[in-house]
Amino acid sequence: MNFQLPTGLRVILIPSESDVVYAGIAVAVGTRSELDSESGMAHLVEHMTFKGTSRLTSVQILNRMESVGGDLNAYTGKEETIYYATFLRPHLRRAIPLLLDIVFNSTFPQDELEKEREVVIDEIESYNDSPAELIFDDFEALLFPHHPLGRNILGDPERLRHYTTADLQSFVRRNYHPSRAVLFVKGRVSEKEIESLLKNEYSRMSPQTEDPPLSDSNLGASLSVPSPSTTSLYTYNRSTHQAHVMVGACGYGVTDPRHVGLALLSNILGGPAMNSRLSLALRERTGLVYTVESNYTAYTDTGVWSIYFGCDHADVKHCLRLVNKELRRLTDAPLTPRTLAAAKRQLKGQLGIAADNSENVALSAAKQYLHTHYVKSLEQRFAEIDALTSDQLLTIARDIMNPDRLTTLIYQ
């Protein structure tokens, strides 16, 4: 069930019989919301929301949920930042006011900022030491040049060192509006209970000033990326022990009905199952890789589909030939009825098992409702998968996975 408060804050309730409650606030603010001069700002703001409000110090914030055995956390993405808590039902009146306070009433004290920016810079340095993670950012930078979607979420250390309290406050005033946020609660909690609780919290849902958020056009949010007409190959010298390789292209946005078919194709190709086509070709039959995977991320109006693997430097060309062979299998001929049925059954099984993870369900529902204003049930998702045809999948594969029109990035 869902409703909207006079402040513009949307609320979704996900019923559960468990006494464990998952609650949080998803805000439509991420790397994509940053100006060119604000690299890393969205992520830094996320860190700093835990460092003090007009009511609570950083220590009080940390103790608020921890002292009752709960958990308080957050993460920043390209298009959203999500703050969430896990706790037992009796502590609902402790958790919701806390979430509202840190999201809409943080003060970003300068002394805390001086310390926390170093924590973030350490996070960046740790990330730079992990080529298997860093290559995903570099790949998106190639797909979305000169656009915030191509920007590293963590930002640039030198830029971060110059941000002040006033800079963070300006970013929040521009972006952290209740109308751009969703409060989500998964647990044995009623709508009446939440409404009653929120009546006393309206004052914590408004920014200190009412600077209007930048329009989507200001942020370059309306994005149409044409598919390349030829392959593009980029090689970066990272002096890594093994080569790291990514191959892929822009995909469909989350509101494009074709995104379901692309998700199914990506799962066939290199999903988490050991019997995926790429796992069989590059690992089981040849022993060329330890990890190979196909991933698809759908943003609001575009997406990223990619293949990642790591291998010995001498085996890169061989692995790429095997990857292209599997891509040709998907783009040259439609799936047989038997293969299609098996692929649908596998994906639905994976989704059904994932739905047993309450935290993931809550976070996924919040993100979906934030960007699309609806939440699909598991049955609706199954129906969309069942409706896919071999011809539709062939068209999608030829549109996105054509090996003659892909971008390749190699760390060597």
DSSP letter string over 170-238? HHHHHH--GGGEEEEEEES--HHHHHHHHHTTGGGSS-SS-PPPPPTTTTT-S---PPPSS-EEEEE--
Q: What is the pLDDT of residues 70-102, one digit of tens each?
A: 999 999 999 999 999 999 999 999 999 999 999
State residue 386 phi and psi, 5-degree precision.
-60, -30
The stretch 48-57 carries a mean pLDDT of 96
Order of strands, sheet of 2-4, starting from the edge strand that comes earlier in the sequence = 2-4, 10-15, 181-187, 20-27, 81-88, 71-76
Amino acid at 134: L
The stretch 1-22 carries a mean pLDDT of 92
Furthest-apart CA atoms within the chain: distance in Å = 64
Q: What is the pLDDT of residues 219-278, one digit of tens each?
A: 334 455 555 567 799 999 998 999 999 999 999 999 999 999 999 999 999 999 999 999
CA–CA gap between residue 24 and residue 102 (Å, rounded) = 11
Which two three-digit tokens encode residue 387? 């409706």
Instruction: Provide the CATH topology of domain 232-411.
Output: Cytochrome Bc1 Complex; Chain A, domain 1 (3.30.830)
52-66, 189-203, 267-281, 361-375: lowest mean pLDDT where? Answer: 189-203
The stretch 94-120 carries a mean pLDDT of 96
Q: Matching CATH topology for 2-204 and 232-411?
A: yes
- Phi-psi group of 146: left, alpha or beta (phi > 0 → left; psi -120 to 50 → alpha; rest → beta): left
Amino acid at 169: Q
CA-wise closest residue to 363 among 83, 154, 88: 83
The stretch 99-128 carries a mean pLDDT of 95
**Residue 101 CA: distances (Å) to CA of 6, 25, 51, 148, 250:** 18, 11, 12, 28, 38
Please state, rounded to an integer, the average pLDDT across all residues of the chain: 93
- The residue with tokens 């204003």 is 373
pLDDT at 6: 87
The more confident residue out of 215 and 6 is 6
pLDDT at 202: 64
Residues with Cβ within 8 Å of residue 304, at least 6 apart in sequence: 139, 140, 143, 248, 250, 251, 295, 296, 297
Cβ(297)–Cβ(136) below 8 Å: no
What CATH class is the domain 2-204?
alpha beta
Residue 209 has pLDDT above 70, yes or no: no
Q: What is the pLDDT of residues 24-35, one digit of tens each?
A: 999 999 999 999
pLDDT at 196: 86
Domain ranges of the chain: 2-204, 232-411
**Virtual torsion, Cα 204, 205, 207, 211, nearest 10 deg:** -160
Cβ(165)–Cβ(110) below 8 Å: yes
H-run or E-run covering 84 = strand 81-88
Gyration radius of the chain over CA positions: 22
pLDDT at 289: 97
Q: What is the pLDDT of residues 144-166, one digit of tens each?
A: 999 999 999 999 999 999 999 99
Cβ(342)–Cβ(277) below 8 Å: no
Strands 243-251 and 303-311, sheet pairing = antiparallel
CA–CA gap between residue 278 and residue 325 (Å, rounded) = 10
For CA atoms 389, 346, 404, 296, the dihedral sign is positive
Using a pLDDT cut of 90, give the percent of the chain over it: 88
Confidence class for position 199, pLDDT limits 50, 70, 90: confident
CA–CA gap between residue 60 and residue 64 (Å, rounded) = 6
pLDDT at 5: 87
Confidence class for position 105, pLDDT limits 50, 70, 90: very high
Confidence class for position 216, pLDDT limits 50, 70, 90: very low
pLDDT at 380: 97
Cβ(176)–Cβ(27) below 8 Å: yes
Using a pLDDT cut of 70, give the percent of the chain over it: 93
Which two three-digit tokens encode residue 74? 């957050």
